[in-house]
Amino acid sequence: QKEVEQNSGPLSVPEGAIASLNCTYSDRGSQSFFWYRQYSGKSPELIMFIYSNGDKEDGRFTAQLNKASQYVSLLIRDSQPSDSATYLCAVRGDSNYQLIWGAGTKLIIKP
Amino acid sequence: DAMVIQNPRYQVTQFGKPVTLSCSQTLNHNVMYWYQQKSSQAPKLLFHYYDKDFNNEADTPDNFQSRRPNTSFCFLDIRSPGLGDAAMYLCATSSGRDTDTQYFGPGTRLTVL
């Protein structure tokens, strides 16, 4: 069974520091990877997607993909208290319409 | 702004009393999804529609049904809610093309008494 693993946390990071969130996946053939942010009681909100090995940057966020090692990470630079949320990693499954989800990492940014 | 809308945002029902949740989208996306999410868990896919083609996940209970009368609207029917069905129900859409990203509505929080 295809799986996506994330450390549940909580991960506590001081304000202004870099938060690093990691995700590993079991299916070596996976091609598409997504990071969503979910505030408590709210729905998931897309932060970034990445398809190619290497880094992809968008503002304070950088997604890193290493297909050989089967992990994808999300870096948040200059962390703000508003970044405190659960971060969900999702990997495309067998079909274009299926995402395999991790259970999320809870991030807490301490002022 | 193009968006995914869910109604109601909060729904309280009694054990065994049918309930219908609705989702509409202005993104003109081909694919619509229903997820169930319980506290501290990953979203669990219940069904998806590609246009009018319905796809049921193998482990979705028969108690859950769905309808998509047109491109913009999709409904989730829970025929006889049990206490274990209390959850956040999320509707999402995607274009259906290769670089497919799912966009979520705000969710409906279902409480079963």
Chain B stretch 21-80, residues whose beta carbon is closer than 8 A to a beta carbon of chain A: 31, 33, 40-43, 45, 48, 50, 55
Contacting residues of A for B102, CB less than 8 Å apart? 34, 46, 99
Measure in Å the smallest separation between the Cα of B59 and chain A Cα atoms.
Answer: 14
Q: Could you read off the pLDDT of A45-103 as tens digits, one per residue?
A: 999 999 989 999 999 999 999 999 999 999 999 999 999 999 999 998 777 678 999 99
The residue with tokens 């079963």 is B112
Of the pLDDT bands very low, low, confident and very high (cuts 50, 70, 90), residue B98 is low
From the list B98, B99, B105, the residue facing A43 with the nearest CB is: B105
d(CA B57, CA A22): 28
By CB atoms closer than 10 A (0-12, 13-18, 19+), residue B109 is middle
Q: Could you read off the pLDDT of A18-48 as tens digits, one per residue?
A: 999 999 999 888 889 999 999 999 999 999 9
Return the H-helix or E-strand segment holding A50.
Answer: strand A45-50
Q: How far is CA A13 from the centre of its chain?
A: 16
Q: Could you read off the pLDDT of A83-98 as tens digits, one per residue?
A: 999 999 999 877 767 8
Strand arrangement, sheet containing B19-25: B4-7, B19-25, B73-78, B64-67
Q: In the prediction, which pLDDT does B79 show?
A: 97
Mean pLDDT confidence for B26-51: 94
Mutate: best of B21, B91, B104, B109, partner A, most A CBs <10 A: B104
Contacting residues of A for B100, CB less than 8 Å apart? 32, 92, 96-97
Q: Do B102 and A42 touch (CB under 8 A)?
A: no
Alpha helices in B30-85 (DSSP H): none
Q: Which of A39-43, A103-107, B58-62, B96-100 has the lowest mean pLDDT?
A: B96-100
Q: In the prediction, which pLDDT does B49 show?
A: 94
